[in-house]
Every structure is written in C-alpha cells, then in structure tokens.
Amino acid sequence: MVLVQNATGYKNLMKLTSAGYLEGFYYKPRVDLELLEKHSEGLIALSACAKGPIANLVVGGQMDKARDKCKQLRDIFGKNFYLEVQDHGLDFDKPINNAMIEFSKEFDLPIVATNDAHYLNKEDAPAQDVLVCIQTGKELNDPKRLKFTTDSLYFKTAGEMKQLFGHVSGAIENTVRISELIDFEMDLGTLKHPQVPVPEGYENLDAYLRKMAYDGMKSRYDAITEEMTSRLDYELGVIGQMGYPGYFLIVADFVRFANEQNIPVMARGSAIGCMVAYTLGITTVDPLSYGLLFERFLNPERVSMPDIDIDLADRERDKVINY
C-alpha cells in the first residue's frame, strides 16, 4: 500500500494508477516493481495486510522469498518503507507479526501498527458479512461461501491499538511519524482546465483559438456576415472568460485525427449550438442556419464544464484514445 507524502507523490500515484489500468490490467489493475521504482518519489509504502506481498510469503512458509521482497521494497522506498503488524485475532497474525519484527531488525526497516479496517464499528461485522454475500452471489446459509472468521476488522481506537501493540518498539510511535511526514492537501472545489502548449507566434491559447475559429469560419461559409462575426466573437469571449480554450483545441484535435484516419466520428447534444465547435470542425451542423442557442451548451451565468459528446466507431475507438 502506498500513501501520498506530497504533491510529487500524488502525481506519481496517478501515473501508477493509470498505468495499472491501461497497461497492466488483468482482472484488476497491476503494476510491477520496475514501475514502482520509476514513480516512487513522494510516496510512503506499507507492507499491507496478510495478503500483502511479504506477509503472504510468510504464511506460505517462503521466508527467503519474503526477505528478498523486503530488500526489493527497501531499495525502492528506503526509509519510506514500513513493515506492518496487525492483530485481528486470526491464526496467521502472530507468525506474520513475528516475521515483520524480525525483518525490521534484519533490514533496519521501521515498523508500524495498522489495522485492516473493512467496516467502521465492531457491530457492523454482520452487515459486512451480508455485503460479501451480495458481492459474491452467495447466501448466508451456504457453508462454502467466503466468510471472515473474525469481527475485529473494524476501525480500532488509539487505546485499542496501544493495548495490542504497545510491546512492539516503535509500532505506535511510527503511526504519528507517518502522519507528520505527510504534507499534502487535496485541492478540491477548483476546476483543472486542460491545457495545450501555446504555439509559437501566439500570446496565449485564447489568441490561437480565435485564429483557428476565424480560419474555420472562412472555410465553412461562402460569405462572412456581421451576424457570424458577432456570434463567433461572443462565443470566443465566453469560452476565454471561463478558461476553456484548451478543452476546445483538444477536442478539435482528436476529431481531426479521427477524420484523417477515416474513423466515423460525430458530435451530438447541446454542443451543436456552438458556432466555435462548428468552425473548428468538431460539429457538422451550422447553428446559425437552425437558430440553435449557444447558451444551452455553455452559459456564462451558470459555471459548469462544457460537455461535447463525441461518438466514435467502436472498432477503432481505441486508436483515438491512444492518440
């Protein structure tokens, strides 16, 4: 398990998550040690529960392999790698904890007390049991169903954790140390607009979008009227004011790519009422000819992300995504 320590770590976690889903997915997202090493900066790693890479080897009696895994993760994360000890009253807890304490001394690795919390309170165990049955398609009276043999997988209090691990040197203290190491706050509630590099010769993306839109207007219409320029200027002003030039340029780029590759592509929905989308080649319907309203798509009085619905042919959709 990895924890984000700082902004760099958050970016690396996003890279690992994306790679796990897009490149390593097999029943579930996966990453290997090479990828972990490449994106380890700013992350704090913990050895995880009984199903973790080290504990699982200990349970299987493969102590040498467990040691090798310790060394590999220590080499990747250094002192930011912690060995976990847990106690849920399960048979394998003690041998795992004994091994973790041994490895901690052998490889000079910090140890930390953790809890494998599957539910908040102890009395929630029956509800979680029902949830597991729903997830696995089994009935409660099925003797062969997946069932946890403990009701201790809840979020324990500080007092309970001290009682369980007070005898393990550093295990409780390191829970505080990890929290002090973490210096990251999610920037929630603000929009992160997509950005593209500003082409040479342009002051900003607004200027580049204006040039692209006006060029498109000249190619779309036989004669340019004041109504057209007025509508285009208005839309460009709203788009620029709300910070969305990059979004339009990105969509226009991959729609252009799809057309060049002869991949059937079509925009639909309220974006049809946007003249900028029409001049950029994103849509194919002239909003002026049909009296379509731009405000149904993007309203300066209602702050929300524009949503250009694009349909692509299934058989070649991945080619556009990869692009």
Q: Does 87 share its domain with 220? A: no
pTM attached to this predicted model: 0.70
- Decide if pLDDT at 305 tops 90: no
Assigned domain for 190 exists: no
pLDDT at position 300 is 82
DSSP 3-state of 204: coil
pLDDT at position 39 is 98
Q: Does 67 share its domain with 99? A: yes
- Decide if pLDDT at 195 tops 90: no
Q: Give residue for tokens 């059937």.
A: 264
Q: Does 134 share its domain with 233? A: no
Domain count within the chain: 2
pLDDT at position 177 is 97
- Decide if pLDDT at 193 tops 80: no
- For 210, the domain range is 205-322
Q: Does 247 share its domain with 171? A: no
Q: Does 223 share its domain with 177? A: no
Assigned domain for 129 exists: yes
Cβ atoms of 5 and 43 closer than 8 Å: yes
DSSP 3-state of 3: strand
Q: Does 37 share its domain with 163? A: yes
pLDDT digits (tens, 9 = 90+) for 158-188: 999 999 999 999 999 999 999 999 999 988 8
Q: Does 161 share its domain with 253? A: no
CATH number, domain of 80, equals 3.20.20.140
Q: Does 109 share its domain with 249? A: no
Cβ atoms of 300 and 244 closer than 8 Å: no
Assigned domain for 192 exists: no
Kindly state the tokens that stand for 136: 């696995």
Q: Does 159 share its domain with 28? A: yes
- Decide if pLDDT at 192 tops 80: no
Q: Which residues of 158-179 are buried (b: 16+ CB within 10 A; e: fewer)?
A: eeebeebbeebeebbebbeebe
Q: What are phi and psi of 319, to 5 degrees?
A: -65, -40
Q: Does 163 share its domain with 212? A: no
- Cα 302 off chain centre by: 27
Angstrom CA distances, 322 to 98, 252, 277, 284, stand at 47, 16, 23, 24
